[in-house]
Amino acid sequence: MDILITGILLGATYSLIAMGLTLQYGVARIMNLANGEMLVAGAFGAFWVFTSQHLSPYAAAVFVVPAAFLLNWVIYRVLMRPLVRRAKNRGMLEVDTILATFGLSFVFVGVMLLAFGGNFFTYSYLAEPYVVFGSPFGQNRLVASAAAALLCGLLYWGIHRTRPGMAIRAVAVDPTAAGLVAINVPQVSAFAFALGGAVTAAGGIALSSFLTMDASIGVVFTMKALIIVIMGGVGDVRGAMIASLILGLAETAVASLIDPGLTLAAAYLLFVLVLLLRPEGLFGRRSS
Amino acid sequence: MKRRILLAGAASTVLAVALSAGTAWAQQTVKIGAVAPKTGPLAAGAAVTHWPNIQLWAHQVNERGGLKMKDGSRRKVEIIEYDDRTNPGETIKAVERLATQDNADFIIAPYSTGLNVAAAPVYAKHGYPQITATSITDKIPELTKRYHSIFFALGSTTGLAGSVADVLGKMHREGKIGKRIAMVNVADAFGIEIAESARAAFKKAGMELVFDRSYPLGTQDVSPIVKAAKAANPDAFIAWSYPPDTFALTEQAKIEGLNVKAFYTAVATAFPAYGGKFGKSVEGHLGAGGVNLESPDIKAYFDAHKKITGKAPDFWASAVTYASLQVLEQSIEAVGLDRKAVIDHINKSTFNTVMGPWKFVNQSIEKYWTVGQWQGGAFHGVASTGLPGAKPAIVKAGW
């Protein structure tokens, strides 16, 4: 039971890390390597709200989420659109955007260093035990998991039950065909990219309540997000959620039952297995 | 506005130099190179311990009018900074560049054990003294034998682990704690090396290891580790940990209610942010490092650090880093810019530093702080290899 709950909590943590990238990579087809930095920026927002305004870190969402949305919209319009236009096929776009966003991640790190300094950013928020089925869990993790569930639920509903969501799915499946049925593909892509950025920043807020951050730590999150997105299947929100949970459960089970030293090995073993057995990811579509 | 003032300042300096062409050489600055992480995994640690001390030292030296050279002239210091992105390859390149392109007179030692060891051959090749204040290793005898230019000031892994065992052993003999120890370590060079020495040291001190596990670097959820450690029902919890895990393990131990009489986490326990995050619950926490807060020199140093850099120093390597710069300063003032003479001088002399008198024996400082403890809102040294001012260790109360 312990393992199950701890695993689900860790899975929720991972879903917060990966959800934004799913949207950006799956729909807008931008492999955004600066994704982790956006997460750290959101975390900084929460840190600032908590330490200097003495509010709940989640209050930061009020300005962090719209700001991240706007910033990512601008990034897409200014930096990514020329690459999208120039790209002859999907592979070329991926290579170009990987290079561009890799550079962008350094810019973000530099800006955050200037703005916040290189120190550790850590604060205590709800670091109190809450007993579930007889064992204590951190309240901050429980709250963050609830936030993750809410975020995933909203995204799932938005994408599968609304009209703009349908447009997003259409673009994810085939941008050319989506254009033929009067979907404004550039606009939907920009929207998905911006939404992905906003979701990532929101994830950063939740994560900052129990992880220690600094300006350079973003790449750690980018790597984890990449694994999850590829495992889950490109462009499928469900896939990313389920991959996060599987990864969380597997790591916790290995750490508790075998040895904490093997968690990374377990994560990569799973990754390799998925790539071998279902190269398109758990929920991905086979390319025709 | 700021830029304009700077420009005006620069222009007037150029003018001043041009006007006093004859004495221009004597007034030239001493170029000091500095290579350390500003980005990458170790950037946050360097931002606490390394960079502020360089800023403080340069500020103080220049405020005094500069380094007082043998011939009586004053020369200001100019710091040239490079970010090595926590990448040993970049550290080496930057040191090469400082030596050959920037013609730096001296180069401050890099940050952390790994980056210092990586750069040691380059310092030796170009004959620059490398006074390390943030490297802990058991390879000191080999390294000093191979490189005449390297100096160690923070101690060895065995010294650090042995001291923890001594502190716990003493508390055990006094009947304050039981002998069951739960130990975890981060699975990288530092954690593995120190856990290895600790196993032997704990045994020698009459303690019993009831839990002994490692976890990978960058672990995001330490709760399985803390749960398992708690299940072993230990009297003491020891973690050879890095900053993010130090914070995470402490928080998780609090949540799980891991009630031990001695709680030790390694790196970053001495950081002000640690006390800031956990407040009163850190009372009695043990950690790597320590400092003698009763010493007037240290008090003055803490005040100056806060005033000039705007942040508090840590309670371990910060003062050591500053002292290493004082060694450089005093050597240059004694023998000038001849790097070979400076290395000789460091080997032979006794230095007056914030850490007290320093004398390098076989290129390393033999008296250093090893264990500190949070007591009454500050992190005091409770064990060292022969320094004065250690406080007695206390038993950790509840959370």
Higher pLDDT, A184 or A1: A184
Measure the CA–CA gap between B229 and B180, rounded to whole angstroms. 11
How many Cα atoms within 13 Å fall on the side-chain side of residue B382? 26
Check A120 against B247: CB less than 8 A apart.
Answer: yes
pLDDT score for B66: 93
Measure the CA–CA gap between B74 and A31, rounded to whole angstroms. 55
Measure the CA–CA gap between B3 and A7, rounded to whole angstroms. 53
Question: According to the per-residue pLDDT averaged within each range, which of A114-118, A130-134, A235-239, B313-317 is highest?
Answer: B313-317
Report whether B234 contacts B211 (CB < 8 A): yes
Q: Is the CB of residue A119 less than 8 Å away from at least one CB of chain B?
A: yes
Q: Which residue has the tokens 């450690």?
A: B229
Q: Which alpha helices (DSSP H) does chain A contain, by range?
A: 2-26, 35-52, 61-75, 81-86, 90-116, 139-161, 163-173, 175-180, 185-208, 218-232, 237-253, 263-277
Q: Is B393 among the domain residues?
A: no
| Partners of B67 in the β-ladder | B75
Question: According to the per-residue pLDDT averaged within each range, which of A150-159, A208-217, B50-59, B271-280 is highest?
Answer: B50-59
| For residues A238-245, average pLDDT | 88
Report whether B219 contacts A249 (CB < 8 A): no
**Terminal alpha carbon distance of chain B:** 51
Q: How far is CA B118 from CA B123, B143, B275, in A?
A: 10, 11, 32
Q: Which residue has the tokens 């973690």?
A: B239
Q: Beta strands B180-186 and B208-215: pairing type?
A: parallel
Total structural domains in chain A? Answer: 1
Domain co-membership, B137 together with B179 = no
Measure the CA–CA gap between A27 and A193, rounded to whole angstroms. 8
Q: Is B392 among the domain residues?
A: no
Check A117 against B47: CB less than 8 A apart.
Answer: yes
CATH code for position B258: 3.40.50.2300
DSSP H or E run through B82: strand B77-83
Q: How far is CA A51 from CA A54, A121, B269, B297, in A?
A: 6, 10, 20, 32
Query: For B186, which residue in chain A has the nearest alpha carbon?
Result: A261
Q: Is B310 among the domain residues?
A: yes
Confidence of residue A286 (pLDDT cuts 50, 70, 90): low
Q: Is B33 among the domain residues?
A: yes
Q: Is A281 among the domain residues?
A: no
Q: Is A280 among the domain residues?
A: no
Domain co-membership, B77 together with B207 = no
| For residues A121-143, average pLDDT | 81
Measure the CA–CA gap between A202 and A68, rounded to whole angstroms. 9
> Of B115, B153, B104, whose CA–CA distance to B324 is shortest?
B153
Two structure tokens written together for B358? 């320093």
ipTM of the complex: 0.79
Q: Is the CB of residue A118 less than 8 Å away from at least one CB of chain B?
A: yes
Check A260 against B44: CB less than 8 A apart.
Answer: no
Chain B interface disruption, residue of A6, A139, A216, A244, most B CBs within 10 A = A216
Of B40, B46, B223, the CB nearest to A6: B223
Confidence of residue A285 (pLDDT cuts 50, 70, 90): low
pLDDT above 90 (res B100): yes
Q: Is B397 among the domain residues?
A: no
pTM listed for this prediction: 0.83
pLDDT score for B373: 94
Q: Is the CB of residue A143 less than 8 Å away from at least one CB of chain B?
A: no
Phi, psi of B335 (to 5 degrees): -125, -5
Q: Is B399 among the domain residues?
A: no
| For residues B367-393, average pLDDT | 91
B273: domain range?
Answer: 158-293+370-384
Report whether B326 contacts B354 (CB < 8 A): yes
- Look up residue A83 and give its amino acid: L
Q: Beta strands B180-186 and B236-240: pairing type?
A: parallel
Q: Is A287 among the domain residues?
A: no
Report whether B40 contacts A216 (CB < 8 A): yes
Residue A122, C-beta contacts closer than 8 angstroms, at least 6 positions apart: A212, A213, B247, B273, B277
3 state SS of A57: helix
Q: Is A172 among the domain residues?
A: yes
Of A9, A13, A215, the CB nearest to B43: A215
A84: domain range?
Answer: 2-218
Q: Is B395 among the domain residues?
A: no
Q: How far is CA B161 from CA B156, B165, B193, B370, B371, in A?
A: 9, 6, 10, 8, 9
Q: Is A46 among the domain residues?
A: yes
Domain co-membership, B123 together with B108 = yes
| For residues B20-49, average pLDDT | 79
pLDDT above 60 (res A200): yes
Q: Please identify among residues 188-247 of chain A the ones whose CB lies closer than 8 Å to any CB of chain B.
A: 210-212, 214-217, 220, 224
Domain co-membership, B28 together with B85 = yes
Total structural domains in chain B? Answer: 2
Q: Which residue has the tokens 């799915």?
A: A169
Measure the CA–CA gap between A42 and A200, rounded to whole angstroms. 8
Q: Which alpha helices (DSSP H) does B183-316 contain, by range?
A: 189-204, 223-231, 243-256, 272-278, 296-309
Of B39, B218, B243, the CB nearest to A220: B218
pLDDT digits (tens, 9 = 90+) for B187-200: 887 888 899 999 99
Report whether A30 contacts A95 (CB < 8 A): no
Domain co-membership, B44 together with B75 = yes
Domain co-membership, B282 together with B313 = no
Confidence of residue B16 (pLDDT cuts 50, 70, 90): very low
pLDDT above 90 (res B218): no
pLDDT score for B339: 95
Query: For B246, which residue in chain A has the nearest alpha carbon?
Result: A212
Q: Is A53 among the domain residues?
A: yes
Domain co-membership, B376 together with B257 = yes
Give one word for A152, left, alpha or beta, with left for phi > 0 and alpha for psi -120 to 50. Answer: alpha
| Partners of B352 in the β-ladder | B357
Q: Is the CB of residue A91 less than 8 Å away from at least one CB of chain B?
A: no
Q: How far is CA B19 from CA A57, B13, B78, in A?
A: 58, 10, 21
Confidence of residue A287 (pLDDT cuts 50, 70, 90): low
Question: According to the per-residue pLDDT averaged within each range, which of B106-110, B194-198, B229-233 is highest?
Answer: B106-110
pLDDT digits (tens, 9 = 90+) for A62-109: 889 999 999 999 999 998 888 888 888 878 888 888 899 999 999 998
Q: Please identify among residues 44-63 of chain B the ones whose CB lies closer than 8 Å to any CB of chain A.
A: 44, 46-48, 51
CB count within 10 Å of CB B311 equals 15
Phi, psi of A94 (to 5 degrees): -60, -45
**Residues of A with Cβ-Cβ distance to B195 under 8 angstroms:** none
| For residues B117-122, average pLDDT | 94
Measure the CA–CA gap between B399 and B214, rounded to whole angstroms. 25
**DSSP string over A204-261:** HHHHHTTS-B-TTTHHHHHHHHHHHHHHH-TT-HHHHHHHHHHHHHHHHHIIIII-GG
Residue A251 distance to chain B (closest CA, Å): 9
Q: Is the CB of residue B36 less than 8 Å away from at least one CB of chain A?
A: no
Domain co-membership, B20 together with B63 = yes
Query: For B85, which residue in chain A has the nearest alpha carbon?
Result: A216
Measure the CA–CA gap between B156 and B142, rounded to whole angstroms. 12
Query: For A111, which residue in chain B has the nearest alpha carbon?
Result: B39
Q: Is the CB of residue B204 less than 8 Å away from at least one CB of chain A?
A: no
Domain co-membership, B149 together with B278 = no
| Partners of B214 in the β-ladder | B185
Domain co-membership, B286 together with B299 = no
pLDDT digits (tens, 9 = 90+) for B136-163: 888 899 999 999 999 999 999 888 999 9
Query: For B258, which residue in chain A has the nearest alpha carbon?
Result: A136
Domain co-membership, B258 together with B365 = no
Q: Is the CB of residue B398 less than 8 Å away from at least one CB of chain A?
A: no
Query: For B185, which residue in chain A has the nearest alpha carbon?
Result: A261
**Terminal alpha carbon distance of chain A:** 42
Check B227 against A256: CB less than 8 A apart.
Answer: yes
The average confidence (pLDDT) of chain A is: 86
Q: Is A29 among the domain residues?
A: yes
Query: Which of B313-347 are b and which e, b meaning 16 or more Cβ less than 10 Å from the residue's Cβ?
Result: bbbbbbbbbbbbbbbbbbbbebbbeebeebbebbe
Residue B128, C-beta contacts closer than 8 angstroms, at least 6 positions apart: B95, B99, B106, B107, B149, B339
Q: Is the CB of residue B309 less than 8 Å away from at least one CB of chain A?
A: no
Q: Is A63 among the domain residues?
A: yes
| For residues A46-54, average pLDDT | 84
Chain A interface disruption, residue of B220, B249, B271, most A CBs within 10 A = B220
Report whether B122 contacts B99 (CB < 8 A): yes
The average confidence (pLDDT) of chain B is: 89
Domain co-membership, B98 together with B211 = no
Q: Is A278 exposed, middle or buried (0-12, 13-18, 19+ CB in 10 A)?
A: middle
> Of A208, A194, A227, whose CA–CA distance to A73 is shortest?
A194
DSSP H or E run through B166: helix B157-173
Report whether B251 contacts A139 (CB < 8 A): no
pLDDT score for B46: 92
Check B255 against A212: CB less than 8 A apart.
Answer: no
CB count within 10 Å of CB B13 equals 11
> Of A111, A215, A208, A102, whose CA–CA distance to B39 is shortest?
A215
Dihedral angle of Cα B293, B298, B299, B305, to the nearest 10 degrees: -120
Size of interface A-B (CB pairs under 8 A): 122
